[in-house]
Chain A
Amino acid sequence: DGGITQSPKYLFRKEGQNVTLSCEQNLNHDAMYWYRQDPGQGLRLIYYSQIVNDFQKGDIAEGYSVSREKKESFPLTVTSAQKNPTAFYLCASRKTGGLEAFFGQGTRLTVV
């Protein structure tokens, strides 16, 4: 079945460490997005990519980095510069010509 796979489902990070969240899709979608969700808040856009080897900052990109070397993959690195990284992270994709977002199951990151 086509879809978006995020891994791991739960991730624990020590202070000062970088961690990378995986997002893979087999929907053949060109555009991919990373959102952060905090309790009681909507989704905030971190980074997005409309095509391979190109990506743009969203509203809250500080402390995060991404790459888009393959169409299927859009990993997010949470760096030590992100001061409050504990959150639920959602990856999404969108097919060209459509506006509906398709979401993965999310990764819950906790700083310990």
Chain B
Amino acid sequence: GDSVTQMEGPVTLSEEAFLTINCTYTATGYPSLFWYVQYPGEGLQLLLKATKADDKGSNKGFEATYRKETTSFHLEKGSVQVSDSAVYFCALAYDTNAGKSTFGDGTTLTVKP
């Protein structure tokens, strides 16, 4: 079956540090890949997505590239801010599976001033 594995957290960084959150996946087909962000007490919001190999998704300074050869979709940001503190979820989904999403366990990021 499908699965998504994220690096274990929590991750604590100082403001302006470089962020990487690793995500690898196992899929039976050719999924689209997503990063969602969850702020405390809220639902998830889409951060960025990529629909095919070598696509790069980007939003709000975050980037991730769909690497089919390594089955990875690592999230990066060059300079984090305190406001980036949240839980980040990597996910995959495809049309042939009723659009159901498979999520990783989430990585908690705390950015200190």
Contact = CB atoms under 8 A, between A and B. Distances in A.
Given A41-B105, A42-B106, A99 B32 contact: yes
B101 interface: yes
B98 A42 contact: no
A33 B100 contact: yes
A104 interface: yes
Interface of A: 4, 6, 31, 33, 40-43, 45, 48, 50, 56, 58, 90, 92, 94, 98-106, 108
Contacts, number: 66
9 contacts: A4-B43, A42-B103, A43-B101, A56-B98, A92-B44, A99-B95, A99-B101, A103-B44, A103-B45
B41 A40 contact: no
B46 A42 contact: no
Contacts of A31: 98-99
Contacts of A102: 46
B104 A42 contact: yes
B77 interface: no
